[in-house]
Amino acid sequence: MKILVPVKRVVDYNVKVRVKTDGTGVETAGVKMSMNPFDEIAVEEAIRLKEKGIATEIVAVSLGVAQCAETLRTALAMGADRGILVETDVDLQPLAVAKLLAAIVAQEHPGLVILGKQAIDDDMSATGQMLAALLGWPQGTFASKVAIEGETISVTREVDGGLETVALKLPAIVTTDLRLNEPRYASLPNIMKARKKPIATMKPADLGVDPAPRLVVVSVAEPAKRKAGVKVGSVAELVAKLRTEAKVI
């Protein structure tokens, strides 16, 4: 079975995100970028399925600027077999990403697409669900455990009430949650080997997809700074402040 793993290039999670001075977005110039952490989990899970003999090939896919090739090299160093880069300078939104991935699925015919439940830059948590809708495939989102037996994949999902287990018929879409696994570090030999692994490059037009944004960002602003706390002298004073100032009671 072939597994397709989309990976996104985002601002590294250790970096303090700053808003551009003109309020048009987040500052990325000169900022350390890395693979979306949830996508790292997806790559790791695909590798584990290959190590179990369930998967035969892992194809990593990234969409965006030319520097996304670096993110693909990271996936290849972890254990993916080859990469696909859909290069564009357009600010890609979830629906456009889902359409591009659907076109790649039509070319590659994977038995499973596994991707992060959300990206840490926009927190949309929409691409996996949109891709499933476009393909007409079953989906298991927020996965904390995955097991494949024959033509069925069992996905344990993290939901508000606890855990839910669903059985899906392959091919299917799975989005990964934080507790699914712990991604491995790429070893130096594997990093060197990744340089020789193939990355195919194409444009959205090659897939017959128009990635033009449908949403317009009006402005971006940092959240208001928290005010300093105050000490109260009695319970009565606390209740009065909660009622008159905080207005929560």
For 56-68, the pLDDT digits (tens) are 999 999 999 999 9
Alpha-carbon gap, residue 243 to 39, rounded angstroms: 45
Name the pLDDT band for 88 (thresholds 50, 70, 90). Answer: very high
Residue 223 in this model has a pLDDT that exceeds 90: no
Mean pLDDT for 68-80 is 97
Greater confidence (176 vs 249) lies with 176
Per-residue model confidence (pLDDT) at position 217: 87
> Which architecture does CATH list for 2-244?
3-Layer(aba) Sandwich (3.40)
Region 132-147 average pLDDT? 97
Domain locations in the chain as residue ranges: 2-244
Rounded to 10 degrees, the C-alpha dihedral 163/169/171/175 comes to -10
DSSP one-letter code for 3: E
pLDDT band at 228 (very low <50, low <70, confident <90, very high): confident
When computed from its CA atoms, the radius of gyration of the chain, rounded to whole angstroms, is 21
**For 109-123, what is each residue's pLDDT tens digit?**
999 999 999 999 989
- Please give the sequence-ordered ranges of beta strands (E in DSSP) within the chain, or none if there are none: 2-6, 9-11, 33-35, 57-64, 82-87, 112-116, 139-149, 152-159, 162-169, 172-176, 199-202
pLDDT at position 139 is 97
> Which two three-digit tokens encode residue 146?
């995955």
Work out the mean pLDDT of the chain and round it to a whole number. 94
Predicted confidence at residue 229, as pLDDT, reads 84
Handedness of CA 235, 236, 239, 241 (dihedral sign): negative
Confidence at residue 25, expressed as pLDDT on a 0 to 100 scale: 87
CA distance 20 to 212: 22
Q: How far apart are CA 173 and CA 4, in angstroms?
A: 10
Q: State the DSSP code for 225.
A: P
Tell me, what's the pLDDT at 172? 98
Question: Residue 249: what pLDDT?
Answer: 87
Specify the residue for token string 């900022």. 31
Q: Are 228 and 111 in contact (CB under 8 A)?
A: no
* 3-state DSSP of 96-114: HHHHHHHHHHHHHCCCEEE
pLDDT-derived band of residue 29, with 50, 70 and 90 as boundaries? confident
CA dihedral 136, 43, 176, 30 (to 10 degrees): -110
- pLDDT tens, residue by residue, 165-221: 999 999 999 999 999 999 999 899 999 999 999 999 999 999 999 999 998 889 998
